[in-house]
Chains A and B, each alone.
Chain A
């Protein structure tokens, strides 16, 4: 019966031999799923105001940003909304997050690419 040390070695062995394109597709899928999760979480939590959404995304994706910078980003997003510019939008497909090339790679390896 394998023990914990053998498991770590096994995982590392599998990772070292993972096809680089498969790995790139897997990581791109992770970024895309993260975006979908963030938007799903904002819907669950009732975060709908553009500035609040900007703050939510900043806290989740860029936790090291200073609160002052987050505040200025929030103010900028709110100003854009007041000016009638398009608000932050939920990405519709993976290419909106990872680009066309990685979306094609994701599709090649069977990952979903549409929301």
Chain B
């Protein structure tokens, strides 16, 4: 079992709902492979509860970073202080329509690497990448967006993606990405 499973088990034990996003979710969904040694997790947790609930679930075996408010989200990381090298990045969204819906739409898979785990849908992964790309379609997120559109756009819920892309202010980035992907 992947060592990152331990991170998920600690979240489950602490009663913190979460789902996998980012490049790990791309890999779980069969959209590619990147040799990263981190895992990105979206948490359903009030920022005020971070130090009281999450931190004790990981320390002292992990170093847990202070929660930082960046844009519409709070970010933190945990890194295991010894043994296999890996890092978990935590995302807590400010309350918004998309964040709540994405948490509800995440679905459980029996992943060959992580075991039973909740993972982002392809639609929400696309929206997350569009938001993280910050308008830059030439970087890492932009390449993932192109890859996702090329492989899955025909099967995605277009109305859902367009509605939340508009709400997140990335509708123009989506339009440009679709143009580049030739879809």
Contact = CB atoms under 8 A, between A and B. Distances in A.
Interface of A: 1-4, 6-7, 10-11, 14-15, 18, 22, 26-27, 29-31, 33-34, 36-38, 40-42, 44-45, 56, 59-61, 63, 112, 115
Interface string B58-84: 000001111010000000010100001
A33 B113 contact: yes
Contact of A41 (B29, B37, B64): B29
Contacts of B84: 22, 26
Interface residues of B, number: 32
A76 B151 CA distance: 20
Contact of B113 (A1, A36, A61): A36
A59 B66 contact: no
A97 B77 CA distance: 32
A2 B65 contact: yes
Contacts of A41: 28-31
A42 B110 CA distance: 14
14 contacts: A2-B65, A7-B77, A7-B87, A10-B79, A14-B85, A30-B33, A30-B35, A36-B112, A41-B29, A41-B30, A60-B33, A61-B33, A63-B143, A112-B1
Q: Which 7 A-B pairs have the closest CB atoms?
A: A41-B30, A36-B112, A33-B113, A34-B33, A14-B85, A59-B151, A1-B66
Given A41-B28, A60-B30, 18 more contacts: A4-B65, A7-B63, A10-B79, A11-B79, A14-B79, A15-B37, A15-B85, A26-B84, A27-B35, A37-B113, A40-B109, A40-B111, A41-B31, A56-B151, A59-B150, A59-B151, A60-B31, A63-B147
B166 interface: no
Nearest to A57: B30
A11 B35 CA distance: 15
A7 B28 contact: no
Interface in B147-168: 147, 150-151, 155
Nearest to A17: B85
A29 B33 CA distance: 12
Given A4-B77, A36-B113, A56 B30 contact: yes
